[in-house]
Chains A and B, each alone.
Chain A
């Protein structure tokens, strides 16, 4: 599975924890420290690298403070079909 990571703008986060509810692998936690507004921001707590970069946390974030990156996995090269016999034409899907 593709790995991902999220960046959290801790100064803008208000610690509502809606992203924690939305996160399927549950890798978001509240920080121990406060930000300058006095909120406890969320942080990525992902010791086993379970974040998949699904961006559901960013979808529900009311303050738009989550940026999501996902590892790009190179797609396997598709082999071109070889003609079955010389002169055979491969039909092209319409």
Chain B
């Protein structure tokens, strides 16, 4: 017998456990339902609130699904040409070394058209942070094949599945960045469930701390879901990340510089 009690209006003495971070603007995002871009935005905003760097943070927004990211954060931001966010961030950081500059890029922006800017910024050891959202597809343009698409993945430009002989193997950005001399922090995390989201937040925090300490280039690759273009429900998309993407893109720390190694590391 289930007894129905009236819903709790307010607990007798309660603490606020979680609320929307201050750095996230009070605007509804344009992302599709269940898209983990929103989670990545929120984690970045939470980390910036915790580190109390909202006043001196500059976002460099990409082209892609996150093209309107400058509307969703409550701090300074700039919009870069497609793929050129690390180059723009380099300039912003060099003329204003006290600012905290980060780019937020998808796989079409960073891994495809902007791979040269990303690699050269990393090799120069620019003191910036890159949040790289990998959802294995081009989201904004309607679900075309990306360099990070999995072998056999059906997209609108690979209707019979991605063919390795024709278009190559999936690109592993976090592993690729790790051996470059200017990189101090290169890790891969996932956003498909609560546990991995908490781990991703720790990684984002460490990446920003690397920049605050002036160590060099830090990059966090986040495995994200794209329910609309994968043609799945948000829940199935999260399971697809777990079952299909993580075996191809193993989570882990690929480079953690010495001063960062005592931080909350978990993989």
Residues of A bordering B, CB below 8 Å? 3-5, 11-12, 14-18, 21-22, 37, 39, 44, 46-49, 53, 55-56, 58-72
Contacts and interface: CB of A to CB of B under 8 A. Distances in A.
B196 to A, nearest CB: 10
Given A12-B28, A60-B193, A62-B36, A72 B238 contact: no
Contacts of A3: 8, 11
A58 B2 contact: no
A64 B21 contact: yes
A35 to B, nearest CB: 10
Interface stretch (B12-20, B58-66, B174-182): B12-20
- Helix, strand, loop or mixed for chain B's interface? loop
- Helix, strand, loop or mixed for chain A's interface? loop
A64 B8 contact: no
Contact of A69 (B17, B193, B197, B235): B17
B34 A72 contact: no
Given A16-B34, A49-B8, 13 more contacts: A16-B33, A21-B235, A47-B4, A48-B2, A58-B17, A59-B194, A59-B198, A61-B38, A61-B42, A64-B24, A65-B20, A68-B16, A69-B17
B37 interface: yes
B50 to A, nearest CB: 15
